[in-house]
Structure 1
């Protein structure tokens, strides 16, 4: 069974509640109904559908969640997923960025300066060369990446990626595609 099929089965709120009750230790139709706040008929129908799909083993009124099926589907989905797009053409920079950037967000600011420079060079690309930004806009652009906008702003200025004067910032460093 694949992850998409499991997700489809669990999209039904009744089946989701049945699986949750089983995962939390309920072992019979009656226990599931009580734990999930559902009627016996609803639980029996959902359990039958889950059993046909192989996610629940049903023996009379006893129910057992087959959690290994969820794990196997998750592993298969992860193996089938395409590799992530590189964040940089440079393999060394990509390795650093892969360690600190997840889903378009900076998970942490590197403490090692060499790694921080790679990350800052990547972040500064949200700023257009030649455009002046008020601090409020700089904060908004950096907040998309990480909640500590003050630290990012300070690092960008201190390392020469941005220049600041009278509360206005502009890009003054970093790689620029032409």
Structure 2
């Protein structure tokens, strides 16, 4: 009985799946193919291409092989993802204030606003964070305001309205300027 690696790291998996043939083999196996012939039919790869990809995936421990039967060891993908998440450094705080950072961490992911907070107190924390993209003393046409806010969230009209309603931006004749919020000096 062949021995398989128990742990495969996420980088190794990503490297293996960067090859289109191996990716197709994994996809076919994940969708239920169980033999070299079935994987070939499902993936559009030749039997030789499937065999070569399966051999490489097998050496890494991601695929087990018994003659023509293949099985994906899907549990290794989850284990690698969990290990990578545990090893990842903690995210940089979005605010020096722990309470504000907690609110921002709940609503901002990868530089994007996941949703606009319903509670005013949380929304104010998020809006104060967003308004920092506008420089004090600079006037912005509505089109430019929309572009700057679209980086954060697709509902630019709601963000614009909240920023004006809370006194963080002022609007006159379609031109906006920053009129509130924390400013670093």
> In which range does the TM-score fall when normalised by the shorter chain?
over 0.9
Among 81, 84, 88, the residue aligned to 1:77: 84
Q: Output one character per residue of 1:116-166: Cα deviation in whole Å (capped at 9) or x when no partner.
A: 000000000000001111111111111111111111000000000001111
1:15-94 correspondence to structure 2 within 5 Å: 15-94=22-101
Q: So what's the TM-score if we normalise by structure 2? A: 0.95
Among 104, 108, 114, the residue aligned to 2:115: 108
Distance in 2, matches of 1:144 and 1:46, equals: 40
Distance in 1, matches of 2:175 and 2:55, equals: 64
Residues 1:142 and 2:149 are matched in the alignment: yes
Q: So what's the TM-score if we normalise by structure 1? A: 0.99
Distance in 2, matches of 1:130 and 1:46, equals: 60
Distance in 2, matches of 1:168 and 1:71, equals: 50
**Long gaps (5+) in structure 1:** none
Residues 1:121 and 2:128 are matched in the alignment: yes
Distance in 1, matches of 2:58 and 2:184, equals: 56
Q: What's the secondary structure of 1:170's corresponding residue?
A: strand
Q: Output one character per residue of 1:14-41: Cα deviation in whole Å (capped at 9) or x when no partner.
A: 0000000000000000000001011001
Runs (4+) of structure 1 moved beyond 4 Å? none
Q: What's the secondary structure of 1:82's corresponding residue?
A: coil
Residues 1:160 and 2:167 are matched in the alignment: yes
**Long gaps (5+) in structure 2:** 1-7
